[in-house]
Amino acid sequence: MWKPDRDDARPLYVQIADYLEQRIAYGDFPPGSVLPSERKLAVQLQVNRSTIIAAFGELRAMGIVESHVGRGTRVSMMKWGAAPRHTPNWSRYAEGGQFLPNLPFMRRIREALAERPGLIDMASGELAGDLAPTEEIATLLKEHDYTAYLGYDNPQGSLPLRQAVAEYLLRHRGIRTTESSILITSGSQQSLYLITQCLLSPGEAVAIEDPSYCYSLPLFQSAGLRLFRLPVDEGGVNPEDILELYRKHRIKAVFLNPNYQNPTGAVLSDERRKRVLELAGELGLPIIEDDPFSLTSYGDMPPSPLKSIDQAGTVLYIGSFSKIAASGLRVGWMVAPHAIVERLADARQQMDFGLSILPQLVAGQFLRSEHFAPHLDRLRTSLQFKRDLLIEAMDKELRGLVEFEAPSGGLHLWCRLLPEVPEGKLLEESIAAGTVFVPGSVYGSDKGYARFTFARPKEEDIAPGVACFARALRSLI
């Protein structure tokens, strides 16, 4: 991101005015569009707000922008004295379309992390850089000569990767499948997008957990689906709730995250797993199983996925590299009947002609390498240590203010806040104090909950991050 040069002889406000004028000339801010607020620009460019006010004043003096109380600063429709005759109404286009934007809290979190690089990130659901197998992948890149054809690949994904995923699923998850029943995706979210867009129709009803990561994804609403909730307790969802929703609303699919559920960390009990599969078989009801966290289990044996005991072929299984290796590789997979794989591969080819071949080759080599198992061992140990650091800090800073159950796997701690405070104000106070978390309503829960990710921050930042949140919470009590 551009920053003014403090060694430049020109005043800071002049540099900023020149920079904004250039972006306006390039069309980044067309006539009529609103410039970022004075506060936001001041934070992004690391200057005083008065400097931004002076820069806006320069632009107003040149007739490039106009400022109105309550409406912000806009690029003039009479830019440089020449009235544009056919400038599209880009604001209307930005608000149009069928694909909905992210939820406001998620956009605010993303904005805060971009504005303040030093913010302690307890919101992003991904591994920290030091948990990724960076050295192992660098070794593989040196050992293997990646001289394969770099054109468009099979729309299902690289054959060597699909073969490696089939071996991995059998060895680590007890799932028997073949490469022809595997679709490589850019991650779990793309898998869910393809399912909602290609296998379901607008107006159809589906069941999701409550609270649920799925609720945070506007892609369900963008597809025009009607969402019905399945309450989650310490043993996961109640299968009889699925039956009731089917009878009342004729739900077409059930989306489940049975192992270390996001955000609660709950694990679907063995008894309930069997009953869910029985119901799915009786009703002919597809179960979409999202299983990103199983191999983060802190015990010796992670819970088995539903797919491994699926006798009727009712489960579509989704997995990903993001939570066990590196989200930046953008490699995930789906196991489904071949007809479904062909349908979704065809749709994905229309979107992007398939994924980049190089990350697929690297991921396939890593899954089959001697580095994979030791990496998982280190990952589990590190995550458990970080979880314990977070719990220790919670007990010290927030005793009597929050309640939670320690998860036995996954990346998150789900907390109930005992004082009643406004979620929006708590998030803003927390950002001001130096840390960021995810308010529980993002996942469809009642107000008064929060999700903290312990995988993303550095070990030394966990306690200070909790202390920042504690100050923010106490300031609102």
Domain boundaries, the chain: 12-95, 104-131+375-476, 145-370
| Amino acid letter for position 241 | D
| Amino acid letter for position 293 | F
Comparing CA positions, the residue from 322, 319, 453, 300 lying closest to residue 377 is: 300
Give how far Cα 335 sits from Cα of 137, 182, 218, 288, Å. Answer: 25, 5, 24, 10
Contact assessment for residue 213 and residue 262, using Cβ atoms and an 8 Å cutoff: yes
Cis peptide before 374 (omega within 30 of 0): no
> Which pLDDT value is given to residue 165?
94
At the topology level of CATH, where does 145-370 sit?
Aspartate Aminotransferase; domain 2 (3.40.640)
> Which pLDDT value is given to residue 432?
93
CA 3 to the chain's CA centroid? 28
> Which pLDDT value is given to residue 357?
83
Q: Model-level pTM?
A: 0.82
pLDDT in tens, 217-272: 888 988 899 999 999 999 999 999 999 999 999 999 999 999 999 999 999 999 99
- DSSP structure class, residue 371: T
CA 68 to the chain's CA centroid? 37
CA distance 99 to 222: 5
At the topology level of CATH, where does 104-131+375-476 sit?
Aspartate Aminotransferase, domain 1 (3.90.1150)
CA distance 410 to 243: 28
Q: What stretches in the chain show pLDDT beneath 50?
A: 80-83
At the topology level of CATH, where does 12-95 sit?
Arc Repressor Mutant, subunit A (1.10.10)
> Which pLDDT value is given to residue 232?
94
